[in-house]
Amino acid sequence: MNSEQNLTREEAIAILNTPDEQLNELIERAGALRKKYKGNHVSIHLLTNARSGNCSQNCAYCAQSCRSHADIEKYKWVDDEKLYGDNTFVHDHKLSRHCIGLSGMKFSDDEIEELASKIRKMKEEGTHLCCSIGFLTKKQALMLKEAGLDRINHNLNTSRSNYPNICTTHTYEQRVNNIHMLQDLGFEICSGGIIGMGESKEDVVDMLLDLKEINPEALPINFLIPIKGTPLQDRDTSNLTPEYCLKVLCLARLLVPTSDIRCAAGREIYFKGREKELLTVVNSIFASGYLTADGQGIQDTIKTITDAGFTCEVESD
Q: Is 158 in the site for ligand SF4 (CB under 6 A)?
A: no
Helices (H), 215-314: 242-255, 267-270, 275-281, 298-307
Element (H, E) at 179: helix 172-184
Q: Is 166 in the site for ligand SF4 (CB under 6 A)?
A: no
The span of 36-44, 54-62, 138-146, 265-273 binding ligand SF4 (CB under 6 A) equals 54-62
Element (H, E) at 221: strand 218-223
Distances 192 to 63, 112, 125 between C-alpha atoms, Å: 18, 24, 28
Q: Can you give 300-314 as a three-state secondary structure string?
A: HHHHHHHHCCCEECC
Name which of 89 and 135 has its Cβ closer to ligand SF4.
135
Q: Is 48 in the site for ligand SF4 (CB under 6 A)?
A: no
88-117 residues in contact with ligand SF4 (CB under 6 A) are: 103, 105
What are the backbone angles phi and psi of residue 312, rounded to the nearest 5°? Answer: -85, 135
Please count the residues of this chain forming the interface with ligand SF4, following the rule CB under 6 A.
9
User: In the complex, what is the shortest distance from the CB of residue 56 to ligand SF4, in angstroms, rounded to a whole number?
Assistant: 7
Name which of 33 and 207 has its Cβ closer to ligand SF4.
207
The span of 61-69, 85-93, 115-123, 139-147 binding ligand SF4 (CB under 6 A) equals 61-69
- The single residue among 59, 90, 227, 240 that binds ligand SF4, judged by CB under 6 A, is 59
The whole-angstrom distance between residue 20's C-alpha and the CA centroid of its chain comes to 26
Q: How far apart are CA 297 and CA 286, in angstroms?
A: 9
Q: Is 237 in the site for ligand SF4 (CB under 6 A)?
A: no
Q: Is 250 in the site for ligand SF4 (CB under 6 A)?
A: no
Residues pairing with 223 in the sheet: 195
Name which of 87 and 103 has its Cβ closer to ligand SF4.
103
Residue 74: partners with Cβ closer than 8 Å, 6 or more residues away: 52, 53, 54, 64
The span of 13-21, 56-64, 238-246, 264-272 binding ligand SF4 (CB under 6 A) equals 56-64
What is the three-class DSSP state of 270?
Answer: helix
Where along the sequence are the contacts to ligand SF4 (CB under 6 A)? 55, 57, 59, 62, 64-65, 103, 105, 134
